[in-house]
Chain A
Amino acid sequence: MKRLLFILPVVGFVGLLAVFFLGLGRDPRALPSVFIGKPLPAFATAPLRPGDTGLASTDFQKGEPALLNVFASWCGPCRVEHPVLMRLRQEGVVIHGLDWKEDAPAGLKWLTERGDPYVRAGNDPTGRTGIEFGVAGVPETFVIDKQGRVRYRHVGALTPEDWDQKIGPLMEQLRKES
Chain B
Amino acid sequence: MPLLNVQNLRVAFHTRNGVVRAVSGVSLNVDKGQTVGIVGESGSGKSVTCYSMMGLIPMPPGRIEGGTAMFDGIDLLKLSAAEMRRIRGKRIAMIFQDPMTSLNPYLRVSTQLIEPLQIHQGLSKKAALPHAIQAMAEVGIKNPEERIRQYPHEFSGGMRQRVMIAMSLITRPELLIADEPTTALDVTIQKQVLELIKERQRSLGTAVIFITHDLAVVSEVCDYVNVMYAGRLVEAAPVADLFRRPRHAYTRALMRSIPALQPKGGTLYTIPGMPPDLSKLGPGCAFRVRNVEHGDRCLTDRDPELVEIEPGHWVQNCPGCMERSAA
State yes or no: do A and B come from one complex: no
Q: Which A residues have a C-beta under 8 Å from some C-beta of B?
A: none
Q: Which B residues have a C-beta under 8 Å from some C-beta of A?
A: none
